[in-house]
Amino acid sequence: MKLGVIADDFTGASDIALTIAEAGMSVTQYIGIPDNDAVSGTDAGVVALKSRTAPVAEAVADSLAACDWLKAQGAEQIVLKICSTFDSTAEGNIGPVLDALVTQLGAGPVIVCPAFPENGRSVYQGHLFVSDKLLSESGMQDHPLTPMTDPDIRRVLAAQTKLPVGHIPANKVAKGAEAIVAAMPDDTALMVTDAIRDTDLLEIGKAAQGMPLLCGGSGIALDLPANFGVTAAPTKALGNNGVGVVLSGSCSGATRMQVARYRQLAPSREISAGELLEGGVNAEDVAVWVMNQARAPLVFSSADPNVVKDAQRQFGASRAAEAIEGFFAELAAVLSRQGIGRVVVAGGETSGAVVKGLGVTALEIGPRLAAGVPMVRPLNSDLVLALKSGNFGGETFFEDALYFMKGTGMEKAV
């Protein structure tokens, strides 16, 4: 193994795994910290944790354990993969995890860059933009678990870390890798690095050669394989023509738009924390309903942020979230036993729950379904999955993904 990635959620892990695979490396995505050695012949290992919203101490411990495992497999460079919207709180978890990894790896200055312009994420003058809006005006200010109300990544990170936080501005990044390296301090610091074009990320990747630790969104990995002498190659073809389903727990604006669109095309069933906690619905019954639909149905809890806040006030934020995630985990398990073939999942927490319910330990990476979203398949299984970050994909993502997950030569129908 040459490159190791610690991802703070499951959709983010798939996102960066796709970026690395398309750049030519063989990639395996691991669900949690493996008990065994890496899959033979793997160039890059991506360990998917559920550390974005975990308690700080748990996030730090899990990240350090993942780092230990990746280094034991031969990884020469570690990437801490975070969400491209820098999801965190004043307490963490990005800063505390970086502090711990810097100490463990003896890292010097660390590039921090969540940008991926292809996906509408850019950093300019230390401020994070989502398309043409500041992060704090993009809808992320209403995130139920990690509301992002400050677009200045330098301020957000400085509130979380014990290390100095510096900045490499766009005008230096535009001059290329040598200028980026020259802008690095001699001592240890976290350097928020501007990127407004994908070519900026390529130069950042070149500048990162030999650095033991990086932090960013999936875009930070665009040119990392080239540092190891690897060139771009096609991703592996996957597909399954079996029964499909969409499971959506994200409350992002993009996902709610996708839900609204797909409800016009296929049967749908909304699940709320209230009915779960009051015993009004169970996974076995919903699974029967799913398997009996003529078209791939939608099961969703993607409510308006105000509805989510009402549920949190009524039941408690943790209890409401755990009820939804537990339901999706159980539903995935039941559907797997009943022979489901294609599962599209929207939302990082929901993806983590679904993967847990399926009992998956590792995934192989297939072709791109949308920017940042690959088709994936559990090792030694025919099931295919799409694990989509809430903000990713266009309005027709659900129907498009289900079609392409069938494989080649199929009629276009969900």
Cα distance between residue 21 and residue 46, in whole Å: 11
Q: Which residues of 102-131 are buried (b: 16+ CB within 10 A; e: fewer)?
A: bebbebebbbbbbbbbebbbbbeebbbbbe
Q: Can you name the residues that pair with 178 across neighbouring β-strands?
A: none
CA distance 246 to 366: 19
Cross-sheet strand order for the sheet of 127-130? 121-124, 127-130, 133-134
pLDDT attached to residue 412? 45
Burial of 132 (0-12, 13-18, 19+ CB in 10 A): exposed
Pairwise CA distance, residues 181 & 275, whole Å: 55
Mean pLDDT lowest among 29-43, 113-127, 156-170, 308-322: 308-322
Residue 61: φ, ψ to 5°: -60, -45
| Confidence class for position 408, pLDDT limits 50, 70, 90 | low
CA 223, CA 12: separation in Å to the nearest integer? 18
Peptide bond into 171 cis (omega under 30): no
- Return the structure tokens found at 238: 């996957």
Mean local confidence (pLDDT), 394-413: 80
| pLDDT tens, residue by residue, 36-60 | 999 888 999 999 998 988 899 999 9
Between the alpha carbon of residue 281 and those of residues 245, 271, 289, 336, the distances in Å are: 18, 8, 12, 19
- pLDDT tens-digit series, residues 217-252: 999 999 999 999 998 777 888 999 999 999 999 888
Amino acid residing at 191: M
Nearest to 135 by CA among 219, 252, 22: 252
Average of per-residue pLDDT values in the chain: 92
What tens digit of pLDDT does each residue of 173-212 get?
999 999 999 999 999 999 999 999 999 999 999 999 999 9
pLDDT at 410: 38
Extract the tokens encoding 224. Answer: 């990392």
Q: Which of 138, 140, 148, 166 is nearest to 90 (CA)?
A: 148
Contact 217, 82 (CB under 8 A): yes
Res 407 pLDDT > 80 = yes
pTM: 0.86
3-state SS, one letter per residue, for the chain: CCEEEEECCHHHHHHHHHHHHHCCCCEEEEECCCCCCCCCCCCEEEEECCCCCCCHHHHHHHHHHHHHHHHHCCCCEEEEECCCCCCCECCECHHHHHHHHHHHHCCCCEEEECCEHHHCEEEECCEEEECCEEHHHCCHHHCCCCCCCCCEHHHHHHCCCCCCEEEECHHHHCCCHHHHHHCCCCCCCEEEECECCHHHHHHHHHHCCCCCEEEECHHHHCCHHHHCCCCCCCCCCCCCCCCEEEEECCCCHHHHHHHHHHHCCCCEEECCHHHHHCCCCCHHHHHHHHHCCCCCCEEECCCCHHHHHHHHHHHCHHHHHHHHHHHHHHHHHHHHHCCCCEEEEECHHHHHHHHHHHCCCEEEEEEEEECCEEEEEECCCCCEEEEECCCCCCCCHHHHHHHHCCCCCCCCCC
Highest mean pLDDT among 106-115, 137-146, 249-258: 106-115
pLDDT digits (tens, 9 = 90+) for 61-85: 999 999 999 999 999 999 999 988 8
Give the number of other CB atoms < 10 A from CB of residue 313.
Answer: 10
Domains and CATH numbers, the chain: 3-227 (3.40.50.10840), 244-404 (3.40.980.20)
Q: How confident is the model at residue 409 (pLDDT cuts 50, 70, 90)?
A: very low
Which structure tokens are listed for 44?
């890059």
Q: Which residues pair with 384 in a beta bridge?
A: 342
Q: Using one digit for the tens of pLDDT, what is the confidence trace for 126-180?
A: 999 999 999 998 888 877 778 888 999 999 999 999 999 999 999 999 999 999 9
User: CA nearest 389: which of 282, 249, 294, 237?
Assistant: 249
Tell the burial category of 215 from Cβ atoms under 10 Å away from its Cβ (0-12, 13-18, 19+): buried
Mean pLDDT of 100-111: 96
